[in-house]
Amino acid sequence: METELKLTIPAAARARIDDHPAVRSSRADSPVERHQVTTQEVLGTINDAAATERIAAKLAEKGCPDLAPAIGALAKWNEGRRRKACSHLDKVWKEFRGATPFWH
């Protein structure tokens, strides 16, 4: 009889494991890892901007006039952040896809 073991490692623990010298030594500072980090940062910014837009829209729906200036400022800042990240996405994605993996 075969038993399947499922192990869930919390994100914080995974980050510590990934940063352990024994794990990092095989791929330390590899081009693909650097491009992966950059790509994740850009995608994370785009995701954060989408979430911020949804939250700001929900706040605006509440109809609190006192929040209108702050929501407007947030929306303007957020749109700039989203556009900047989107403008970098194509380049960082191509660099990531073109990088030689550390195992080659």
The burial class, CB within 10 Å (0-12 / 13-18 / 19+), for 49 is buried
> Residue 70 is which amino acid?
A
Percent of the chain residues past pLDDT 70, beyond the cut: 70
User: What token pair was written down for 50?
Assistant: 């989408």
Can you give the residue ranges of every domain in the chain? 55-98
Query: How far is Cα 40 from Cα 18, in angstroms, rounded to an integer?
Result: 15
pTM given for the model: 0.67
DSSP alpha helices (H): ranges in the chain?
11-18, 21-24, 31-61, 68-98
Please give the pLDDT value at position 104: 67
Residues of the chain with pLDDT under 70: 1-28, 104
Query: How far is Cα 92 from Cα 95, in angstroms, rounded to an integer?
Result: 5
Please give the pLDDT value at position 16: 62
DSSP state, residue 30: -
Query: How far is Cα 104 from Cα 101, in angstroms, rounded to an integer?
Result: 6
